[in-house]
Amino acid sequence: MTTLALHQHAHPAGITRWLTTTNHKDIGTLYLCFSFAMFLFAGALAMLVRAELFQPGLQFFQPNVFNQLTTMHGLIMIFGAIMPAFVGFANWQIPLMIGAPDMAFPRLNNWSFWLLPMAALLLLSSFLVPGGAVAGGWTMYPPLYIQGGVAYDMTIFALHIMGISSIIGSINIITTILNLRAPGMTLMKMPMFVWTWLITAYLLIAVMPVLASAVTMLLTDRHLGTHFFNAAGGGDPVMFQHIFWFFGHPEVYIMILPAFGILSTIIPTFSRKPLFGYHSMVYATASIAILSFVVWAHHMFTVGMPAAGQLFFMYTTMLIAVPTGVKVFNWIATMWKGAITFETPMLFAVAVVCLFTIGGFSGLVLAIVPVDIQLQDTYYVVAHFHYVLFSGAAMSIMAGVYYWLPKWTGHLYDETLGKWHFWLTTIAFNVTFFPMHFTGLAGMPRRVPDYALQFADFNMLSSIGAFVLGASQLLFLYTVFKCARGGAAAGEKPWDGADTLEWTLPSPPPYHTFETAPLVK
């Protein structure tokens, strides 16, 4: 199989370049910039939420606006920030890491990206329509979702468009990885980042259509008089939850597996040691992906399912802890007896391993059905998913950005600023979210704009932490911007422990790379 690239076309400049590009590096940049903008917007929504929750009583927002803030924070973070950021990494890195000239379908790649700003336009402009934005939780449960106004339809279509983007993006990634690897790069020689994205792409292509079905049923129940989720017509609101979470649980693994890939790249680099247990990392990732299809109802333990259902889903959910634990042990074993240095990417990676594991433990606690009965729909769940999604996924994205910025821009970022960003983020994050374990245990429900007095102290603490956390991301913005504009020359390989193919290229790499396939031993 030859991998020689043929391109004989002109390169437009200015806006035309960005609208019409078929280049994976350009498209990766577009995804990353888009996701950063969405991250800041959704983060601002969270600041408003925490401002309202700073004290008991309603100070700033009536409940209907508050519910819009929390719902949109969730939707935009998941679909606008985390997922596109990882796709941005995939676009930049996968062709470089496998020695391919570009993605398998470069034009389709551009369509995957440009669908996202359209979806974002539809979703964000729903704040401005009568009745305001969706306010039924990002999980969109009926019958509440059937009651809402026009924003609810806009959200459904935004999800459809975003789903199309993800599906064609996954087709592209799977085909690229299976078909365009340089000669000599067998599957078991691929970098872990590429493996995690291959498996993530399989998950995406399997479950995004299921989400599409679910929201289509919501649409027809809303407007065409169907009774999918209406008991009078023989339907069941809980059926939506089953279909949604069949998508929803693999979705959370979609949001974490690429993060695992980034960790598996950074930790060996800065430990100056090969990744421990490469084969078992691959099998563990695959096991997590397969198991992720049979755990979904652990989000639904209180709906009234028979004990047999609760038992089955509890057992499978607990089982997922095993391959996840294997991965954590492998990362630590990689660090063990290495020669570790603590540049910003490594600081973030180490924090992720530690804090994500805390999230994993709270997940295990939630898996235990009787305990989940107490904790479902409380702030304990909010703590759990922020530990896995912020200090898991988001901080891995930050780690990856610091790691690869020198390659993408050709400049070294400001290490002092990077470290400040790291420490402010990590400390503020824990101040914000650790107390939420306690408020949840103590009895505070989630998705409430106001709370009883015994939760006041921890809420105030969380809000203060949140304000610092939010402000720190502006430092991140500045650091990234500054690096893009200029800085010390990065050279080919600023990290002496790095060993994947992109580090054999100049920084930044030429517009077209690997038009002749590299030799992989």
Q: Which amino acid makes up residue 263?
A: L
**Contact yes or no for 340/353 (Cβ under 8 A):** no
Is there binding between residue 304 and other proteins (CB under 8 A)? yes
Question: Which position has the token pair 């590299």?
Answer: 518
Give the separation between CA 401 and CA 29, rounded to whole angstroms: 11
* Cβ neighbours of 46 (radius 10 Å): 20
N residues, the chain: 521
Looking at beta carbons only, is 110 or 507 nearer to other proteins?
Answer: 110
Catalytic: which of 50, 222, 273, 299?
Answer: 299
Verify binding: residue 511, other proteins, rule CB under 8 A.
Answer: no
Contact (CB, 8 A) for 447 and 137: yes
Pull the structure tokens for residue 430. 């824990």
Q: Which amino acid is at 59?
A: Q
The answer to whether 273 contacts other proteins (rule: CB under 8 A) is yes
Binding mask 416-445 for other proteins (x = CB under 8 A): ---------------x------x--xxx-x
For residue 223, indicate whether it is catalytic: no
* 138 touches 76 (CB < 8 A): no
Q: Using the rule CB under 8 A, is 186 a contact of other proteins?
A: no
Distances (CA, A) of 435 to 154, 163, 422, 430, 459: 35, 35, 20, 8, 8
Instruction: Report the residue number, 16 or 416, with the smaller CB distance to other proteins.
Output: 16
Is 299 catalytic? The answer is yes
Binding marks (x or -) toward other proteins, 203..222, rule CB under 8 A? --xxxxxx-xxx-xx--x-x
| 181 is known as an active-site residue | no
Minimum distance from CB of 135 to other proteins (Å)? 8
| Beta-bridge partners for 411 | 489
Catalytic residue among 70, 166, 285, 472: 166
Q: What is the DSSP string of 127-180?
A: GGSTT-S--STTTT-TTHHHH--HHHHHHHHHHHHHHHHHHHHHHHHHHHHHH-
Q: Catalytic: which of 327, 384, 421, 437?
A: 327
Question: How is residue 486 written in tokens?
Answer: 């200029």
Does position 384 interact with other proteins (CB under 8 A)? The reply is no
**424/338 Cα distance (integer angstroms):** 27
Tokens of 359: 């999230």
Catalytic residue among 111, 114, 138, 141: 138
Q: Is residue 294 involved in binding other proteins (CB under 8 A)?
A: no
Residues 103-142 that bind other proteins (CB under 8 A): 104-108, 110-111, 113-115, 117-118, 121-122, 129-132, 135-137, 141-142
Question: Does residue number 318 form part of the binding site for other proteins (CB under 8 A)?
Answer: yes
Q: Is-catalytic flag, 298?
A: yes
Q: What separation in angstroms does the CA of 229 have from each of 141, 145, 225, 240? A: 10, 11, 11, 7
Tokens found for residue 418: 């990077």
166 an active-site residue? yes
3-class state of residue 107 by DSSP: helix
The answer to whether the CB of 91 falls within 8 A of the CB of 109 is yes
User: Residue 445 pairs with which residues in a beta bridge?
Assistant: 378
165 catalytically annotated: yes
Active-site residue, from 271, 324, 362, 463: 324
Question: Going residue by residue from 216 to 255, which x/- string records binding to other proteins, judged by CB under 8 A?
Answer: xx--x-xxxxxxx-xxxxxxxxxx--xx--x---------
Does 157 sit near other proteins (CB under 8 A)?
yes
Residue type, position 293, single letter: F
Binding track, positions 345-364, relative to other proteins; x by CB under 8 A: -----x--xx--xx--x--x
Residue range at the interface with other proteins (CB under 8 A); choices 75-83, 183-191, 310-318, 390-398: 310-318
| 126 part of the active site | no
Q: Is 138 annotated as catalytic? A: yes
Which CB, 420 or 438, lies closer to other proteins? 438
Residues 154, 130: Cα–Cα separation, whole Å: 12
Stretch that binds other proteins, among 182-190, 298-306, 404-412, 413-421 (CB under 8 A): 298-306
Of 183, 187, 374, 519, which lies in the binding site for other proteins, with binding defined by CB under 8 A? 374
**One residue of 76, 90, 180, 394 binding other proteins per CB under 8 A:** 180
**Does residue 461 bind other proteins (CB under 8 A)?**
yes
Is 264 known to be catalytic?
yes
Q: Which of 298, 407, 411, 437 is catalytic?
A: 298
Q: Closest Cα to residue 387, out of 429, 425, 345?
A: 429
Out of 47, 55, 189, 477, the residue judged to bind other proteins by CB under 8 A? 55
The active-site residue, picked from 52, 221, 251, 502, is: 251
Cβ within 8 Å of residue 181, ≥6 positions away: 3, 98, 99, 100, 190
Q: Is 1 helix (H, G, I), strand (E, B) or coil?
A: coil
- Binding piece for other proteins, criterion CB under 8 A, among 100-108, 395-403, 417-425, 499-507: 100-108
Q: What gap in Å lies between CA 9 and CA 107, rounded to an integer?
A: 13
Of residues 159 and 483, the one with the C-beta less far from other proteins: 159
Whether 73 is catalytic is: yes
Report the alpha-carbon distance of residue 512 to residue 17 in Å, rounded.
15
Pair 453, 55: CB distance under 8 Å = no
The least distance separating other proteins from the CB of residue 48, rounded to whole angstroms, comes to 16
Decide if 372 is catalytic.
no
Among 290, 482, 512, 520, binds other proteins (CB under 8 A): 512
Q: Distance (Å, rounded) from C-alpha 229 to C-alpha 247?
A: 17
Give the catalytic positions in this structure: 73, 102, 138, 165-166, 249, 251, 253, 264, 298-299, 324, 327, 446
